[in-house]
Structures are given as structure tokens and as C-alpha cells.
Structure 1
Amino acid sequence: MTVTFDYAGKAVLVTGGTRGIGAGIAAAFRAAGAEVTVCARTRPESVPDRFVQADVRVPEDVDRLISGFDRLDVVVNNAGGSPPAPLEGTSPRLHARVIELNLTAPLLVSQRAYPLLAAVGGAIVMIGSASGARPSPGTAAYGAAKAGLHHLARCLAAEWAPLVRVNTVVVGLAATQDASGASPATTGDTSGASPAATRDAADHYGGRADLDGRAIPAGRMATPADVAQACLWLAAPGYVTGAEVRVDGGGEIPAWRHLVSGDIS
């Protein structure tokens, strides 16, 4: 059975929607009939029909972005990511910027968009990460920020019910055009990260794309289309709010499973 969604006449905003998971989400909403606006810090070579250049960490940019809407039905807070950033030896400013992008920015966008969403019974979808649900060594600030994002969504769902529904898609290892082997820290949602960050994500696992089948029960990484389908469902009118939907192919297979089978190298 194929599930289809009709977003005709709906206005949708996808932050960090010019590449990777964000671009996949934007494309899915367009295919469902929505009028989709995407934003990013850097103007892409191929500019979408509705693109706003904005840094969602900057309150003035967020105000300018949201003020351009007369109606807003759905916000997908997708912009996020982090380069590998071990706590020791990494500048405090880098950690602060990671938290700003992955936690403060979605809070600012949601806060500013609330009046428009409340007027139409709209929805917010946060793009979370498995790194916010289990230890994230080497990217502690990112993992902590994503854990905070998951909690923020639950808080807003309770605070803004029943006018606005707020849910989270928790993404596991993900494959995008930026990475042949995605980092378990960045989970592929590097659309808000710097070019250096996306290069670093591609370097994880030594570029070995064969590891995904050994690490994930489903046998492959998530794709932008997988994440987009969850977003389409959570954004559609319904009862679900304050939920976390895991798009991780069953999680990550524990290392001990390979150890006892002699399968690890």
C-alpha cells in the first residue's frame, strides 16, 4: 500500500533545505502540492523557486524570514550538523556555534512562526538525531544540543497544544550526496553546517560504504526520502504531538554481536 499526502494550498518552510536531507524533505512536500520555501546561509548554485538566504542562528534573520509569510502551515527545523569536535582542544566558540545551530536556532524559528501556525492549526517537525539519544563521543556539543532539541519539541508540544502540533524525527545513520559513509554524529543533517563539516562527515569510517549494512538492522542507511516520508505524516493534520519517530533502520547493531560472531574487523 502506498500512502499519499495532499498539501495543496499549504505553505511549508524547510530550514537548511537546499541539499542533503533538507532538500529531500522540500522535494517531498513540493511533490505533495505544497508551496515550499527553503532557507540556508549560502545561496545554492541552482536556486529553488522560493529561497531565502538567512542564518537561522541570527534573530534578525529569523524575523526577516518569517515576516515574508502571510500564511504558514508547516515548519521543518532541519538546519543542523557539526564537524567532529572533541571536547579537549576545541575552541569554546565552536561548541557554542554548534549548540546555537542545532538547538537555539530551531527554538527561535519555532517561536517566531508560532502565531502563523496557530492561526491555521499548523505543525512543527524537528529533525533530531540518534546522537541525541545515546552517547556521542567526539561531538558532545552536537549530541547534547540534539538531546535538548528532542526535549524542546516535547515542551512546545505541551505548551502550544492544541493549536500547534510539534514532533521530532530522530534520524540515525543517513546517506546524502555529501557523504559516502555518514557520521553517527552528524547523521547526514549537515545542510546547516559548513563545507568543512560536510567533508569531515564524508571521511567517517574511512569512506567505507559497506559498513552501513553491518551496522544497521535494515541493511542500509536512511535516505532523504525515508526522512521525508516521516515528515509528511507528522505534519499532516492529526492527533499525534510530542512524539519522537525514529528513522534509523532499527538502530545500530551493538559491537558485541560482531565480536561473538567473529565478524568484526
Structure 2
Amino acid sequence: MTDELKAHPSETLSGKVVIVTGAGSGIGRATARAFSRAGAHVLGAGRRAHALEETAAGHPGISTLSADLRAPGAPQDVIDATIDRWGRLDALVNNAGVFVSMPLAETTADGINELLSINVTAPSLLAHAALPHLLRSRGSIVNISSTYGHRPLPGAAHYAAAKGAVEQLTRSWALELASAGVRVNAVAPGPTESEALAAAGLSDATVKEVKRDEAARIPLGRRGVPDEVASWVVRLADPATTWLTGQVLAVDGGLHLT
């Protein structure tokens, strides 16, 4: 990680409390660590306890909670754990999500429902549970979308549709909550190094081919790394970013321009 990507303690983030979902790997792990380095208290939530422990290792500002956000009551449990520990909440980062390749010919109701449950329903219910505390702190929400929230993705249309929903939630919540001083923004990463492709069940050879093809389409000529995305998530959530809401920031090496 280059020096310019390293977060430093921030007067405006020091002592603030942040929840980061999907904190066990990739962008979520990098984001939890970036907030911790900036002086915030972080609750990193995710399904894999061991992966969360790796995220928190060497970062005393990060506490972890293993939870499946799709389970009944889980979003409220995450919020309650945060408030019980620190008594406040200043920012929610809805990063947890899943990529599913589902061509139309193979589309099923169960497949659609499972994909939407983690990418749309869970962050919505988490934001709902967080709202009273964010209203009190005049905090912020940062949703994680994708380049494919506003670009077509043949073979995975429902993933693209779910991320498109995240972008519309961002804009709509931003207007709904603006009068209360709660800001809502999103980051739309382009292809970024993570475990998502392997987790989707693709073979090693297919993953390498996909990565090669993606890098060739990106104007800056390479895939991103999680820290490059995390730094923008931190900036959007920072209380010093006082006059920015309802934005979807493409952090994708220029892919959205093609």
C-alpha cells in the first residue's frame, strides 16, 4: 500500500463509531482498517469469525461480530452490539454483498431471492435499525454499489439490478434524511482484487481469465486494490465532508467512461 493510501488519525473521525459489514475480506477489511487508523472505533461484522479476527489483528480499534445479516433479527443485533459497546453510532458502511452469476436461462426464484436478500434487503434493514442513532449523531451512511449498478452485466443481470437498487436507495435515502442532517452516499467500485470471483464458484482458470479481460477494459489498465476504494469510503463518511449527499462515486479506473 502506498503512503498516499494510508489513513492517518483524523480530528473529525477520532472517537467516532463506525459499523462496516462484510469486514472479513476485500474492500470491507480494508475499510475497517482505514477507519481504525483514522482514529474511529469500528465494529466489523461478517459471517466468518476467523476472517474477522484476521481483519482486527494488529488493529485495536476494531471489534468484530460474526453475524449472517440475512437471519431474522440480525441487523438489530449488530446495532445493539454497537450501542452496548460504545453508546453511539456515527457511520454505517453497507459493504456486505454477494456476486452471483445467473444467466436468464438459469434464473430461479430462489436464486433471485437469495441474491436480493444480502445485497438489498439486509442493508435496508440494517439502515432502518441504525437510523435512530444516526439521527442523534447526524451521522452518515455509505453504501457499496458496483460499476455494474449502472452498467449492463450479461449473465449476471440480477446482480447488476441489485446494485442498481443500492444506488437508488442511496439517492432516495439522501433526500429523505437530508433535513435531519444525515448524509447518504455510495461508492461504486470497478473490478477490485477480492475473493468475490472465487466465492461465486468460478474455477481458478476462469477467475484468471475474467481478471485479465477486466483489466484490459479499464482505461487505467489494471484492476483496483481494496485500499484504493476504502480511502474514498472513509472520506465520504468523514464528518468533515459536510455538503455532499446523494452521490454515487465511481472508483473504477475510468471504466464508467467506456
How far is 1:211 from its partner? 3.8
Q: Which amino acid aligns with 1:103?
A: V
Q: 1:79 to 1:201 in 2, by over 3 A?
A: farther
Q: Which runs of 4+ in 1 moved over 6 A?
A: none
Comparing 221-230 with 204-213, greater Cα deviation is found at 204-213
Q: In the alignment, what sits opposite 1:24?
A: 30
Give the equivalent residue in structure 2 for 1:248. 252
Compute the displacement of 1:118 (Å). Answer: 1.1
* Aligned-residue CA RMSD (Å): 2.3
Q: CA deviation at 1:200?
A: 2.2
Q: Is the 8 A contact 2:8 2:37 kept in 1?
A: no
**In the TM superposition, what whole-angstrom CA distance separates every residue of 1:71-125 from its partner, at most 9, and x where no partner exists?**
1111100000223111222432121110111111111111110111111111100
| Equivalent position SS for 2:202 | helix
Per-residue Cα deviation, 1:187-238 (whole angstroms, up to 9, x for no partner) = x5x7xxxx742x4286546446544442111121111111111111100121
1:62 to 59, 64, 75: 75
Letter in 2 for 1:74: A
Matched, 1:171 2:189: yes
Q: Are 1:134 and 2:151 an aligned pair?
A: yes
User: Could you tell me which residue of structure 2 aligns to residue 93 of structure 1?
Assistant: 110
Q: Distance in 2 between matches of 1:46 and 1:17?
A: 6
Query: TM-score, normalised to structure 2's length?
Result: 0.84
The aligned residue for residue 81 of structure 1 is 98
In structure 2, list runs of 5 or more residues that go unmatched: 57-61
Structure 1 position 17, deviation (Å):
0.5
C-alpha contact (below 8 Å) 2:46/2:52 kept by paired residues: no
AA in 1 matched with 2:140: A
The 3 A distance-change label for structure 1 pair 252 and 64 is closer
> How has the CA–CA distance of structure 1 residues 12 and 218 changed in structure 2, closer, same or farther, with 3 Å as cutoff?
same
| 2:220 equivalent among 213, 218, 223 | 218
TM-score normalised by structure 1 residue count: 0.82
1:106-148 Cα offsets, whole Å, 9 max, x none, are: 1111111011111111110000011110111111111111101
Task: Indicate which of 49, 54, 66 corresponds to 1:53.
Answer: 66
1:46 CA drift (Å): 5.9
Q: Which structure has more helix as a fraction of its residues?
A: 2
Give the residue type in structure 2 aligned to 1:138: G
1:112-261 aligned at under 5 Å gives the runs 112-162=129-179, 163-176=181-194, 178=195, 188=196, 196-197=199-200, 199-200=201-202, 204=206, 206-207=208-209, 209-237=211-239, 238-251=242-255
CA shift digits 1:143-199 (9 cap, x unpaired): 1111011000111111111421000101111112x2xxxxxxxxx5x7xxxx742x4
Determine what percentage of the aligned residue pairs are the same residue.
36
Show the counterpart of 2:59: none
1:202 and 1:151 map into 2 onto residues whose CA distance is: 34
SS in 1 for 2:145: strand
Q: Number of paired residues? A: 238
Q: 1:16 Cα deviation (Å)?
A: 0.6
Is this contact kept in 1: 2:24–2:51, CA < 8 A? no
Rounded Cα–Cα distance in structure 2 between residues aligned with 1:211 and 1:72: 41
CA distance in 1, matches of 2:203, 2:96: 15
| Partner Cα separation in structure 2 for residue 250 and residue 161 of structure 1 | 29
For the residue of structure 2 that corresponds to 1:58, the secondary structure is coil
Structure 1 unpaired stretches of 5+: 179-187, 255-265
Is the 1:216–1:253 Cα contact (8 Å) retained in structure 2? no
